[in-house]
Structure 1
Amino acid sequence: MQFHHHGYVSGDPRVQPAAGVGVDRPTDLPDEVDVLIVGAGPAGMIAAAQLAQFPNVVTRLVERRPGRLEIGQADGIQARSVETFQAFGFANRIIDEAFRITETCFWKPDPDHPENIVRVARTPDDPNGISEFPHLIVNQARVLDYFAEVARNAPARLEPDYGYDFITLSVAGSGDHRVTVTLRRTTGDLAERVVRAKYVIGCDGARSKVRESIGRELVGDQANHAWGVMDVLAETDFPDIRRKCAIQSHDGGSILHIPREGDHLFRMYVDLGPVHDGDHQAVRNTSQEEVEARANRILHPYTLTVRKVCWRSVYEVGHRLTDKFDDVPADLVGTRTPRVFITGDACHTHSAKAGQGMNVSMQDGWNIAWKLGHVLDGRAQGDPAGHLLRGAAGDRPEPDRLRPGMVGADGRPPRRIG
Structure 2
Amino acid sequence: MDVLAEAVVAGAGGAELARLPLPARYTAAHLRAEDADGFTGVADKDVRKTIHIGSVPMPELAPDEVVVAVLASGINYNTVWSAMFEPIPTFTFLKQFGRRDRWAARHDRPFHVLGSDAAGVVVRTGSGVRRWHVGDHVVVSPVLVDEEEPATHADGMMGASMLAWGFETNYGGLAHYGIARASQLLPKPAHLTWEEAAANPLCAGTAYRMLVSDRGARMTQGDVVLIWGAAGGLGAYAVQLVRNGGGIAVGVVSSEAKAEYVRGLGCHVVINREEIGLTGDAPADPATVGKRLGRLIRTATGEDPHIVFEHVGRATFGVSVFVVRRGGTVVTCGSSSGYRHEFDNRYLWMRLKRVIGSHGANLQEQHAVHRLLDLGRVRPALTTTYPLSEAPEAARLVQSNTHLGKVGVLCLAPTTGLGATRREP
Greater share of strand? 1
Q: Same fold, TM exceeding 0.5?
A: no
**TM-score, normalisation: structure 2:** 0.25
Q: Which has the higher contact order (CA 8 A, sep 6+)?
A: 1
Greater helix share, structure number = 2
